[in-house]
Amino acid sequence: MNETERTVRIFHESWDMRDPDRGAAVITDDCRFEDVARNELLSGPEGYKRDYHRWRKAFPDGECKVVNVITQGDWGVVEFVNRGTHTGVLETDAGNFPPTGLRYEVRYCSVMRVKEGMVVEGRDYYDSATILRDLGLSG
């Protein structure tokens, strides 16, 4: 396993380990990570931890299962599946959604650049409509 793959796996697998500090430890202070679906920019380890806790609060049983990792030089592409039960408040820029008790499952793709074993930038792509549908939050 090369350094890029090792780093992006640590980042993603820390979710299932329920260890946000482990994921944050491989993110540079000036890392800019974009959530494309939410049009949100997360900065550095603290941005990652805030996002982690927001999702963990809404989906305490949440899982992140890595399906595939492809690397080329400094770049890693990680395909993964997120799933969980909506038992806590989901806080978003569009408002807060009370627990529905419903499960969701959605496929994601992260594109990340790694330098010297640290994530320096990244983007998450996923179908947010599937999450809303699964949770009964859309028509």
Residue 139, burial from CB neighbour count under 10 angstroms (0-12, 13-18, 19+):
exposed
Q: What percent of the chain has pLDDT over 70?
A: 99
Tell me what pLDDT residue 121 has: 98
The tokens for 56 are 């963990």
Tell me what pLDDT residue 119 has: 98
Tell me what pLDDT residue 138 has: 77
For the sheet containing 118-126, what is the strand order? 40-43, 27-35, 118-126, 103-115, 75-85, 63-72
- pLDDT lower than 70: segments of the chain: 139
Tell me what pLDDT residue 139 has: 60
Please name which of 132, 80, 87 lies closest in space to residue 107, comparing C-alpha atoms.
80
Tell me what pLDDT residue 36 has: 94
Query: What does the alpha-carbon distance between residue 57 and residue 46 come to, in Å, rounded to a whole number?
Result: 16
Give pTM, 2 decimals: 0.91
SS3 2: coil
Query: What does the alpha-carbon distance between residue 139 and residue 130 come to, in Å, rounded to a whole number?
Result: 12
Give me the domains of the chain, ranges plus CATH numbers: 3-134 (3.10.450.50)
